[in-house]
Homo-oligomer: A and B are copies of this chain.
Amino acid sequence: MRKYFEEFEPGSVRDSTGRTITETDIVLHAGQTGDFYPHHMDEEWCKQQPFKKRIAHGTLVFSVAVGMTAGVINEVSMTYGYDRLRFLQPVFIGDTLRVKVTVRERKEHKRPGYGLVTEGLEVFNQRSDLVMVCDHLLLVEKRVPGDAAH
| Chain A positions near chain B (C-beta within 8 angstroms) | 17-20, 22-25, 27-38, 41-45, 54, 57-60, 62-64, 66-68, 70-73, 79-87, 94, 96, 126
Contact = CB atoms under 8 A, between A and B. Distances in A.
Given A20-B42, A34-B36, A35-B70, 7 more contacts: A17-B73, A18-B38, A24-B24, A25-B32, A33-B66, A35-B67, A44-B126
Contacts of A94: 43
Question: How many copies of this chain?
Answer: 6
Contacts of A96: 42-45
Contacts of A42: 17-20, 96
A57 B70 CA distance: 12
